[in-house]
């Protein structure tokens, strides 16, 4: 396998852009990434595009119609919430295999006020439990994961609320975040209940967004980096759920992350204590808490104590093992196809001390990981090192 590096990144501020189209949003992020890499679209040999809600509409080709059609192969990816990160992995694998030297990945989504998302098999009476055995909507699914942790380990509502407070505080330093408002513990706990124990401020907002990355082989890195330090993709892992005796009324949101995490650490040759920052899939505060344990940031049943000791909090705020210093999905937003690439951009910026992360820079960052799951299921973990 060839070594692969991230040469350039681009991201637009997450928010709502009703006046723009999906290809326009994706094209804007792609142009930023190309400029950051110091190359032109004519230099790109392969393009992977992640988008969920227009997955039948050849979004990748339509983005190239915005920024330049050069006849290169285009792969359009749809993989639930892991859509963008799966597109990144396709771009990575195309270089790692030795087939190409320069590839581009774009994740883009336009959701606006899309509303709550159903679970796998929604509408199929063989799979849908909606209204019959609880709810398959995502706030309920991840609420169930939180309740299970509470039952098993004695985790308190306050632990989930502290995650929301932390992430909103982090977002005040991120100009790309959809929301940049602080909230207090009382604000979070007294907010409208959406799916117990997740209150409104423990749920990610919908919105629009796009992010892009330019990947290169080691040979091209030496030609194009101009002496700049660029992060290596030390591991790019994709998993799905193995069969377990869990039922679809209580989806397993942990096994595929644990399997991916084990593979990622082994491939990268490092462990969780070597990770300077983690951008993980906090679609709900309950999800972030269980993923602390799934990613090995703390032991099983120790997430509550981890939070109480300020685990996951930026070092500048007195914390350690920082998680979602971007503000995470809870504040940055979760335009599904864009999220995976955006998480990678955040890690890249800290490893390279990029100006785009200067107000929230994690000191001495040498390794970081970006994690996304999509129920159904897919999990990606990309470990980057410098």
Residue 13: which CATH number?
3.40.47.10
When the pLDDT of each residue in the chain is averaged and rounded to a whole number, the result is 94
Model pLDDT for residues 155-176, shown as the tens digit of each residue: 999 999 999 999 999 999 999 9
Q: Is pLDDT of 80 > 90?
A: yes
Separation of alpha carbons 170 and 325, rounded Å: 5
- pLDDT reading at 107 higher than 80: yes
Residue 310 lies in a domain: yes
What domain count does the chain have? Answer: 1
**Structural domain contains residue 41:** yes
Active site residue 81: yes
Question: Would you say residue 120 has pLDDT above 50?
Answer: no
Domain extent, residue 53, equals 4-112+204-385
Query: Among 321, 45, 293, 310, which residue's Cα sits nearest to residue 163?
Result: 310
Task: Render pLDDT for 267-289 as a digit per residue (tens, 0 to 9).
Answer: 999 999 999 999 999 999 999 99
Residues 6+ positions from 179 with CB-CB distance below 8 Å: 168, 171, 205, 327, 331, 332, 333
Ranges of H-type helices in 173-271: 185-190, 218-224, 255-268
336 pLDDT above the threshold of 70: yes
How large a percentage of the chain has pLDDT more than 90?
Answer: 88
Give Cβ neighbours of residue 131 (< 8 Å, ≥ 6 apart). none
- Res. 245 pLDDT band, cuts 50 70 90: confident
| pLDDT tens for each residue of 290-328 | 999 999 999 999 999 999 999 999 999 999 999 999 999
CA distances from 137 to 111, 148, 166, 296 (A): 17, 17, 25, 28
Q: Region of 68 please: left (phi>0), alpha (psi -120 to 50) or beta.
A: left
Average pLDDT over residues 111-118: 64
Residue 312 lies in a domain: yes
Euclidean distance between CA atoms 268 and 274, whole angstroms: 11
Residue 160 maps to a domain: no
Q: Is residue 18 assigned to a domain? A: yes
Residue 159 counted as domain residue: no
Set 81, 204, 298, 345: catalytic member: 81
Buried b (16+ CB within 10 A) or exposed e, 190-199: ebeebbebbb
| Domain-embedded: residue 63 | yes
233-255 average pLDDT score: 86
% of the chain with per-residue pLDDT over 70: 93
The residues near 176 (Cβ < 8 Å, ≥ 6 apart) are 11, 12, 13, 14, 326, 332, 342, 356
The arithmetic mean of pLDDT across residues 131-142, rounded, is 80
């Amino acid at each position: 396998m060839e070594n692969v590096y991230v040469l350039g990144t681009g991201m637009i501020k997450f928010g709502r852009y009703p006046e723009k189209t999906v290809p326009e949003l994706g094209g804007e992020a792609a142009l930023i990434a190309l400029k950051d890499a110091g190359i032109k679209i004519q230099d790109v040999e392969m393009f992977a595009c992640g988008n969920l809600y227009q997955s039948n509409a050849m979004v990748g080709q339509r983005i190239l119609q915005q920024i330049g059609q050069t006849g290169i192969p285009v792969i359009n990816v749809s993989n639930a919430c892991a859509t963008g990160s799966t597109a990144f992995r396709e771009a990575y694998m195309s270089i790692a295999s030795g087939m190409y030297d320069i590839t581009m990945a774009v994740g883009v989504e336009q959701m606006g006020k899309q509303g709550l998302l159903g679970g796998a098999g929604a509408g199929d009476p063989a799979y849908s439990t909606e209204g019959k055995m609880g709810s398959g909507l995502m706030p309920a699914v991840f609420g169930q994961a939180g309740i299970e942790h509470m039952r098993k380990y004695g985790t308190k509502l306050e632990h989930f609320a502290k995650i929301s407070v932390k992430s909103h505080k982090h977002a005040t330093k991120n100009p790309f975040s959809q929301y940049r408002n602080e909230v207090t513990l009382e604000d979070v706990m007294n907010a409208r209940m959406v799916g117990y124990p997740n209150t409104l401020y423990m749920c990610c907002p919908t919105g629009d967004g796009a992010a892009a990355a330019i990947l290169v082989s080691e040979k091209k890195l030496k030609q194009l980096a101009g002496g700049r330090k660029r992060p290596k993709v030390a591991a790019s892992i994709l998993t799905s759920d193995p069969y377990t005796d869990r039922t679809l009324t209580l989806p397993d949101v942990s096994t595929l992350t644990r399997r991916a995490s084990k593979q990622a650490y082994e491939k990268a040759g490092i462990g969780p204590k070597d990770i300077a920052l983690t951008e993980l899939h906090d679609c709900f505060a309950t999800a972030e808490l269980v993923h602390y344990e799934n990613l090995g940031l703390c032991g099983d049943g120790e997430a509550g104590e981890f939070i109480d000791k300020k685990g996951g909090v930026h070092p500048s705020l007195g914390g350690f093992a920082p998680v979602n210093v971007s503000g995470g999905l809870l504040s940055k937003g979760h335009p599904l196809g864009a999220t995976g690439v955006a998480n990678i951009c955040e890690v890249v910026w800290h490893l390279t001390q990029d100006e785009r992360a200067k107000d929230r820079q994690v000191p001495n960052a040498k390794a970081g990981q970006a994690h996304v799951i999509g129920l159904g299921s897919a999990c990606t973990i990309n470990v980057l090192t410098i």
